[in-house]
Structure 1
Amino acid sequence: MGWEYGIRTTEPAILPEVVERLAGALTFTEVYSLEHQANGFVLKREDPSWPRALEVWVEEASGLEEVVDGESYIYCLFHMWGQEARSWMQQMERETRQVDGGLTWFEL
């Protein structure tokens, strides 16, 4: 499918705020639109055959090595590969470095 990453923290209460910051940090062309959801966001594109480019939300861990079951973390699903998706990941990584709270990226 694409790339799957998680972001864990030593302070789970900050995760909703971090998700909002990640959404605000993304730059994208007019063929994409950002849709906020209750616990995250989706970056959609104007292509009915593959409408979702990126999904980010707060999720409860279950069966992960990197996060204790029941703890919250940020789930990131990049439906696309290539330079565009890599750029979004880099933008999000830069934003997480600006946040206090021990944010750590890990691959799923």
Structure 2
Amino acid sequence: MGWEYGIRTTQPAILSEVVKLLADALTFTDIYSLEHHANGFVLNREDPSWPRALEVWIEEASDVEEIADGELYIYCLFHIWGEEARSWMQQMEQESRQVDGGLIWFEL
């Protein structure tokens, strides 16, 4: 599998807005499509053998060292790695630095 990251904040009420900002920050080619959900988004690609490239969800912590059980955080799963995924992560990290709310990335 790819990379797993979490994003925590001192202001959980902003997480929905942060997820939208992260989705808007992504640039990708025509082989990808962005699928919005109520609590996150998925970046799909035109490859039936490996259709998901990236998933970002608001989740409730359970056995996550960096966050108390029950607290909300943003879960990021990069199904692919390499330059494309690294670029998406950098785009999302840069966008998250623009947000007031003490966003902290951590590796899972």
Quick check: 1:104 aligned with 2:104? yes
Query: Unaligned stretches of 5+ in structure 2?
Result: none
| 1:31-56 Cα shifts (integer Å, max 9, x gaps) | 00000012000000000000000000
**Other-structure match for 1:59:** 59
Q: Distance in 1 between matches of 2:38 and 2:17?
A: 12
**Other-structure match for 1:30:** 30
**Other-structure match for 2:88:** 88
| 1:64-97 Cα shifts (integer Å, max 9, x gaps) | 1101100000000000010000000000000000
Query: Unaligned stretches of 5+ in structure 1?
Result: none
**Other-structure match for 1:50:** 50
Q: Distance in 1 between matches of 2:52 and 2:63?
A: 26
- The SS at the match of 1:57 is strand
Q: Distance in 2 between matches of 1:34 and 1:68?
A: 31
- The SS at the match of 2:22 is helix
- The SS at the match of 1:29 is coil
Q: Distance in 2 between matches of 1:87 and 1:20?
A: 18
Q: Distance in 2 between matches of 1:43 and 1:82?
A: 15
TM-score (norm 1): 0.99
**Other-structure match for 1:71:** 71
Q: Distance in 2 between matches of 1:47 and 1:38?
A: 24
Q: Give me the CA root mean square deviation.
A: 0.3
Report the residue type matching 1:73 in the other structure: Y
- Compute the displacement of 1:3 (Å): 0.1
